[in-house]
Amino acid sequence: MLPDMGFLKATLGEPLGLDLHFNIADEQACAATLSLAEQKRYQALENTARAKSWLLGRAALKSLRTRLDGRTDIDALSFPNARFSLSHSADVALAVAEPSGCLEGIGVDLEVDTRIQPAAARFFLTEHEQQWLQSQAAERWSHHLLRIWCIKEAVFKANPGNIGRTLADHELDRPADARGEARASTGQKMEYASWCESRTCIALAVCR
Residues that bind ligand COA (CB under 6 A): 54, 57, 79-80, 86-88, 107, 109, 120, 123-124, 153, 156-157, 162, 166-167
Q: 137 or 175, CB closer to ligand COA?
A: 175
Q: 109 or 191, CB closer to ligand COA?
A: 109
CB of 193 to ligand COA, least distance (A): 17
CA-wise closest residue to 127 among 66, 57, 92, 175: 175
Q: 47 or 139, CB closer to ligand COA?
A: 47
Using CA atoms in the order 109, 124, 188, 163, what is the torsion angle rounded to 10 degrees?
Answer: -80
85 neighbors 108 (Cβ within 8 angstroms): yes
Query: Terminus-to-terminus CA distance in the chain, angstroms?
Result: 31
Phi, psi of 39 (to 5 degrees): -60, -40
Mode of pairing for the β-strands spanning 189-197 and 200-207:
antiparallel
CB of 153 to ligand COA, least distance (A): 5
Q: 18 or 207, CB closer to ligand COA?
A: 207
CB of 113 to ligand COA, least distance (A): 14
Distance (Å, whole) CA 166 – CA 152: 10
Q: 16 or 89, CB closer to ligand COA?
A: 89
Distance (Å, whole) CA 17 – CA 171: 22
Q: 44 or 120, CB closer to ligand COA?
A: 120
CB of 198 to ligand COA, least distance (A): 19
Cis-peptide into 80, omega within 30 deg: yes
CB of 23 to ligand COA, least distance (A): 13
CB of 41 to ligand COA, least distance (A): 10
